[in-house]
Structure 1
Amino acid sequence: MIRFENVSKTFVMEGKRKTIMENVSMTFPSGRSVGLLGRNGAGKSTLLKMIAGTEPPTSGKISSSGSISWPVGFAGSFHPELSGAQNCRFIGRIYGVDTDELIAFVEDFAGLGVHFHLPLKTYSSGMKSRLAFGTSMGIAFDTYLVDEITAVGDASFKARSDALFKERMRNAGAVVVSHSMRQISQLCDAVVVLEDGHLTFYDDVDQGIRDHEDNMKRRA
């Protein structure tokens, strides 16, 4: 469960004030895969960071039960001088999991070959994302935060990513950001739409997608 209580988030950029969220109260239920939809720049990635605790709200409170992943695909916490394997071991120790098992899982899933044992600074952005996705999916979180990560890689990797995500969702929940409505329909059983600083929850995924697409048409 993730609860927003009177949460607001604003940024001031170049003297201009931008409101991402305004006095929002909502609960993301436990064990549900919730698609987070909104136009470009609406603040979806910021919302994920606030849930993860890496970005504080301007006001209000965000509380949660159970363990929550970092935003899947975010490689900003990896050390560039360490190899992929060494970064996995470091993260495994932080979260108290078997580091050898985690390394073996990520090495097999990410498919980085010899690069897995080379410094992260030699990786492309796609390789970093594959490493980050594999590492987060290799740890049993109660809720996964996913930001477009399964768009990374070739068709085979995307298919494996979707299959792994669905497997994890048997015992966990998620908040998923994706620009693919097909992917939202396949992976999610609820939708939240972020529009003009407000969140609207939909148990009906198709209705949430339709309202989001109507918002996009009005903006256009």
Structure 2
Amino acid sequence: MVEAKKICKVYMTRKGPRDILKNISFCIHKGDKLGILGCNGAGKSTLIRVISGAELPTSGEIERTMSVSWPLALQGGFVGHMTGTDNLRFISRIYNVEFKQALEYVKDFSELGTYLYEPVNTYSSGMRARLAFAISMAVDFDCYLIDEISAVGDKRFNKKYKDTLFNEKGDRSLIMVSHFYGVIQEYCNKVAVLDQGRLAVFDDPKEAIALYDRVLAGQQITF
């Protein structure tokens, strides 16, 4: 289970405090797939970072009784002067993963070849994304966090990581944020809308999409 309990997040700006998340609560259980829709700047990435533990909420708490991944679109956690292999070794130690087994998996999944033994700061953005997704799949999480899933590499590789995430690991929980509801409609059984710092969760995706269409149209929404 992953449960958010009255999560608030406030950032200080030059113009004073800014409320990003306001009393957000939800709960997902094993196998649940929650999609969170929100416009750019709605606070989706902030919410994902708080759920992952990368950031602490200003108030409220996250209860986790299952293992939770880092945000899959996050590529900033690599040490640039270290090789892809060395970054994997470091992550394997943190998550108690057998390194040799993980290395074989990442070699096959990432298709980086000899670049896996080069410093990550020499990688293109696409290569970093391949490494990030490969390592994410090598660590066996109960719940995967996905921040704005997008195409990675060519069409064949894009299909490969989606098949792995949504089919091979289809029994795992997901929390996915996006500003586009096509992918959320396809993979999520619960859908929420994040707007003006507040979250509304729906068991019927159609209701969530109807609300999100109103948000996109600029209508004032009261949660």
Matches within 5 A, 1:46-195: 46-195=46-195
Q: In 2 relative to 1, CA 219–158 (structure 1 residues): closer, same or farther, beyond 3 Å? A: farther
Is the 8 Å Cα contact of residues 68 and 145 (structure 1) preserved in structure 2? yes
What's the % identity of the aligned pairs? Answer: 38
State the distance in 2 between where 1:29 and 1:98 align: 27
Q: CA–CA distance in 1 between the matches of 2:35 and 2:8?
A: 21
Q: CA deviation at 1:219?
A: 5.7
Q: 2:42 corresponds to which letter in structure 1? A: A
Sort the Cα spacing of 1:157 and 1:16 in 2 relative to 1 into closer, same or farther, 3 A.
farther
* SS of 1:151 mapped into structure 2: coil
CA distance in 2, matches of 1:34, 1:219: 24
1:5 maps onto 2:2 in alignment:
no
Query: How many Å separate the matches in 1 of 2:91 and 2:176?
Result: 22
TM, length-normalised to structure 2: 0.91
**Any residues of structure 2 matched to 1:180-219 within 5 Å, and which?**
180-218=180-218
Provide the rounded CA distance (Å) in 2 between the counterparts of 1:203 and 1:175: 14
Task: Return the alpha-carbon distance in structure 1 between the equivalents of residues 180 and 106 of structure 2.
Answer: 25
Deviations 1:88-132 (A, max 9, x none): 121112111121111111111112222111110101222112111
Aligned 8 A contact 1:150 1:162 in 2: no
Instruction: Determine the structure 1 residue equivalent to 2:32.
Output: 32
Pair 12,168 (structure 1): closer, same or farther in 2 beyond 3 Å = farther
Check the 8 A contact 1:73/1:130 in 2, yes or no.
Answer: no
1:154 Cα offset (Å): 2.0
Contact 2:52/2:68 (CA < 8 Å) preserved in 1?
yes
**Residues 125-147 of structure 1: per-residue CA shift (max 9 Å, x gap):** 22112111111111110100111
Deviations 1:62-99 (Å, cap 9, x if unpaired)?
A: 11111001111312221111111221121112111121
**C-alpha separation between the residues in 1 aligned to 2:57 and 2:76?**
20
8 Å contact from structure 1 (residues 191, 208) kept in 2: yes
CA-based RMSD of the aligned residues comes to 1.8
The 3-state SS of whatever aligns with 1:140 is: coil
Q: Distance in 2 between matches of 1:22 and 1:194?
A: 10
CA distance in 2, matches of 1:55, 1:82: 24
Q: Match for 1:42: what amino acid?
A: A
> Unaligned regions of 5+ residues in structure 2, if any?
none
- Say how many residue pairs are matched: 220
Q: Secondary structure at the match of 2:217?
A: helix
Q: Would the alpha carbon gap of residues 85 and 13 (structure 1) be closer, same or farther in structure 2, given more than 3 Å must change?
A: same
Superposition deviation, residue 178 in structure 1? 2.7
1:20 partner amino acid: I
- Separation in 2, partners of 1:71, 1:168: 19
